[in-house]
A and B are shown apart, each in its own frame.
Chain A
Amino acid sequence: DAGVTQSPTHLIKTRGQHVTLRCSPISGHKSVSWYQQVLGQGPQFIFQYYEKEERGRGNFPDRFSARQFPNYSSELNVNALLLGDSALYLCASSLSNEQFFGPGTRLTVL
């Protein structure tokens, strides 16, 4: 079975631009969570979606938004990119109590 997949794997943007990151959960998983991992730190929780509804939001500005589609895949959108948004963005899906993480999208903002 395929694990959690994310696209693209790498992305380079400039300040002020907008970015969309995509995540496909494990088949049958209805919950998707997004995390930001800055170099040298642990992942920081951004959003959780379950059955297309937002169930949780971390301490991130409104420039960050997300949505979940009927097939449970998800998009993370970041507007007006800042240099500090450079990070590894991780998606995780879950069926119950264990989260399965994807390989992440490495975003570089120049």
Chain B
Amino acid sequence: DAKTTQPPSMDCAEGRAANLPCNHSTISGNEYVYWYRQIHSQGPQYIIHGLKNNETNEMASLIITEDRKSSTLILPHATLRDTAVYYCIVRVLYNNNDMRFGAGTRLTVKP
């Protein structure tokens, strides 16, 4: 079973920020929060990951609460090409046999 809980779907207006929440209340001290997205008919694409500090890269920002029980992925200026299913995963670093995907959040960016 996935260790995370995400809303099944969200909408966002093009050009606005998309804020995707994830609950991971049972996260362990050595587990990182990872975000992937899957555009229709493609393999999942890595977005960002973090342990406890907020992280930012060219794609998105990751905000992790102080108790680490939840996080938010922020796409600062959503475009139509950001329409995808977004997966939040918690796992131990380098442990590639512990990638448990849930159903994710289907983000629809509307013009």
Q: Do most interface residues of chain A lie in helix, strand or loop, or is the interface mixed?
A: strand
Q: Type the 1/0 row for B29-43, where 1 means its CB is closer than 8 Å to any CB of A.
A: 000100000000111
The CA-CA distance from A4 to B44 in the complex, in Å, is: 12
Contact with A31, one of B2, B93, B96, B101 (Cβ below 8 angstroms): B96
The CA-CA distance from A103 to B85 in the complex, in Å, is: 15
A42 pairs with B104, CB closer than 8 A: yes
Give the Cβ gap from B16 to chain A, nearest Cβ, in Å.
26
Number of interface residues, chain B, beta carbon within 8 A: 22
The CA-CA distance from A100 to B47 in the complex, in Å, is: 11
Interface residues of B (CB under 8 A from A): 2, 32, 41-46, 49, 85, 87, 93-94, 96-104
Interface residues of A (CB under 8 A from B): 4, 31, 33, 35, 40-45, 48, 55-58, 90, 92, 94, 96-104
